[in-house]
Chain A
Amino acid sequence: MEKTKSFLYPPGGILIWIIVLVEVLTFGIALIVFRTYFHQDYDVFLASQNMLSKNIGLFNTIVLITSGFFMATVIVKIKQSRIKEAVKWMFFTIGTGLLFLFVKGWEYSIKINEGHGFGYDDFFDFYWMLTSFHFIHVLVGMAILSVLLFKLRKGDYGASNFLDIETGGVFWHMCDLIWILLFTVLYLLH
């Protein structure tokens, strides 16, 4: 009892929340710096921003939010001891994550073919750095979820033992959150 009250109070444990805080801080600083540069060189940044496909960005935003909803469903099902259903929703979560990576990869290939790679201009330097850092986070998230899925199928988790799943869930939601920030600031805000 003592443990849940002090050290492990937030869902998933305090350590994952420290990670979330630091990650949001990192991307936050980067986005503030990005906005500053945007204002200093408004026309160039605006022209480059208009080269991004807002539809692809929006589609991927919806995909990740949906994935987050699936992840939340996994935890609801585990708390109800419906492990088989939880496994099913975990597959959906990972599946939508894969879809995100696939669409993002497709968008990357379009940008490279257009010649708008890393080093094209300051806007695209930011675009490539921030989205590829995020891409790596989604990859890591998928690896975490895959391990959780494996252990879930083995029967390692249940209604009284789901801390790891919550921790993984917090990480996965962090990926949504950061993407929403990136989509808003990189694709839309000007």
Chain B
Amino acid sequence: MKYKSQKVAYMFFALSMVLLLLQIVYGFIMAFAHAGYDGLHEIIAFNTATATHKNLLVVWLLSGFMGAAYYIIPEEAQRELVSVKLVLIQFWSLAIVGVVAVAGFHVGWWEGRKFLEIPRALDYLVVVNVLLFLGIILVTLFKGKEKTTTAMVLAMGLFFAALLYLPGMIWFDNQSMDSFFRWWVVHLWVEGVWELVMGGILAFLLIKLTGVDRELIEKWLYVIVGLTFLSGILGTGHHYYSIGAPKYWLMIGGIFSALEPLAFLGMALFAFAMYRKGEKNHPNKTALYWTLGTAIMSFAGAGLLGIAHTIPQVNMWTHGTLVTAMHGHLAFWGAYAMIVFSIISYSLPLMTGRKLYDTPGAHYAFWLSNIGMIGMTTAFAAAGVAQVYLERKVGLDFMVSQNALHAHFWVLIGAATLFTIGIIYYVVNFFKHGMPTDEALIDNK
């Protein structure tokens, strides 16, 4: 850690850990409901659980990105954050809005639109919160000594992510129009600007962990940014199949979605090329595991499992089934959860001064969570294919076909247990580091 204000990242990371654990609880509630044991139905109905599960995911990832930005931007810009007091206000308002939103879901205070359930009043608070966050980051960056490509890509990703929150707030009387713009938030985040955030964090970590020249790493960062925009923007079209949007989206969505794995493949090749070129003597091997793991798992989950059902001829059958859950889980885990884990694994020992990175717990966390998640993805895949066959080929009713899938959900619960043990190891390791301290400051020279 080079600047005192970088310590604020810790709070955001800690919030991420807590919300992640909560998200997993809701995951289990749904898995048991799918397996036939929906005992909590009266208190937490399935639709409440699914909304909570997804919104918690988004909030803990955003909290992780914010923590990453508060850690990375001072180091790249070579100055302290402009105001730690404002960061504290931003942190607590984020946490409170998040908790209120999630609590609201349980008493029916929501908009009912998939992924964007947060009620409109809280939307405005989110906007204010994010504007404050961006203000702190951008002012720090522009007052700083350096404006590196890494910092600019990261800031640009966060800026556009904020901007793309707005289309979800426009009121439409037409369901198709509403869906059309809803995907601008959801899709253009995960397959557009969040990839920039991921690319920026990845570049920062590779510079630090491999020791390869910044110039070289940043040059390739441009390629990734280019590929992301080329494929991701029009690739949104794969969400426009069968929602009432014009037919030509089948064509545009199909073609540009087919290119989307390229951005992730680019990132994976990039990470491994830099690792092989590097000196391999950085002591924090755990952070390196997570970083290279991100590169592989994002390509597998977001890239390959994505293209597995974005082709219109396939999507015609799989649209809105558990096949989507298969892709969604490994994509979010591989691309975004793992990049947050990477930056935490890298920065936490530097903020706290405790070098806990080669402990057995850190290794268990990495392997168990990844193996567990691959198992979960496989269970979803089997359940999804069976669902498509029973429901859409054979023509069984939705609930009848769901009843036939119970076995797959026991496999899911088993794999999820493994995953959860891994996550618990990670969280325990996280809190074992203790609080960040100024004693961990190293000489800026």
Contact = CB atoms under 8 A, between A and B. Distances in A.
Interface of A: 7, 15, 18-19, 22, 25-26, 29-30, 33, 118-119, 125-126, 129
Interface stretch (B37-45, B256-264, B436-444): B256-264
Interface string B221-260: 0110011001000000000000000111001101110110
A33 B251 contact: yes
A26 B259 contact: yes
Contacts of B246: 119
B223 A15 contact: yes
Given A22-B230, A125-B248, A129-B248, A15 B222 contact: yes
Contact of A22 (B248, B252, B259): B259
A19 B255 contact: no
28 contacts: A7-B219, A15-B219, A15-B222, A15-B223, A18-B223, A18-B226, A22-B227, A22-B230, A22-B259, A22-B262, A25-B259, A26-B230, A26-B256, A26-B259, A29-B258, A29-B259, A30-B251, A30-B255, A33-B255, A118-B248, A119-B246, A119-B248, A125-B247, A125-B248, A125-B251, A126-B251, A129-B248, A129-B251
A22 B260 CA distance: 11
Contacts of A118: 248
Contacts of B230: 22, 26
Interface string B112-148: 0000000000000000000000000000000000000
A30 B247 CA distance: 15
Contacts, number: 35
**DSSP majority for the A interface?**
helix
A119 to B, nearest CB: 8
B301 to A, nearest CB: 22
Nearest to A37: B251
What are the 8 closest A-B residue pairs judged by CB atoms, nearest first? A30-B255, A29-B255, A125-B248, A29-B258, A18-B223, A26-B259, A15-B223, A22-B230
B223 to A, nearest CB: 6
Interface string B193-212: 00000000000000000000
B252 A129 contact: yes
How many chain B residues sit at the interface, stated as a range, is 10 to 19
B226 A19 contact: yes
B255 A26 contact: yes
A9 to B, nearest CB: 14
A181 to B, nearest CB: 14
A7 B215 CA distance: 12
Contact of A33 (B216, B254, B262): B254
A125 B254 CA distance: 14
A18 B226 CA distance: 10
A26 B260 CA distance: 11
A162 to B, nearest CB: 20
Contacts of B247: 125
Interface in B266-304: none
B214 to A, nearest CB: 15
Nearest to A31: B255
Interface string B312-326: 000000000000000
Contacts of B256: 26
A15 B226 CA distance: 10
A7 B218 CA distance: 14
A119 B249 CA distance: 12
Nearest to A32: B255
Contacts of A18: 223, 226
A15 B224 CA distance: 11
Contacts of B216: 7
Contacts of B254: 33
A44 to B, nearest CB: 15
Nearest to B252: A129
Contacts of A30: 251, 255
Contacts of B252: 129
Candidate in B219, B226, B246, B255 with the most chain A CB atoms within 10 angstroms: B255
A119 B251 CA distance: 13
A19 B266 CA distance: 13
Contacts of B259: 22, 25-26, 29
A39 to B, nearest CB: 15
Nearest to A128: B248
A33 B248 CA distance: 13
A29 B234 CA distance: 15
Contacts of A26: 230, 255-256, 259
A24 B246 CA distance: 26
Contacts of B222: 15
B242 to A, nearest CB: 18
Contacts of A129: 248, 251-252
Nearest to A118: B248
A29 to B, nearest CB: 5
Interface in B35-78: none
B35 to A, nearest CB: 40
A178 to B, nearest CB: 14
Contacts of A15: 219, 222-223
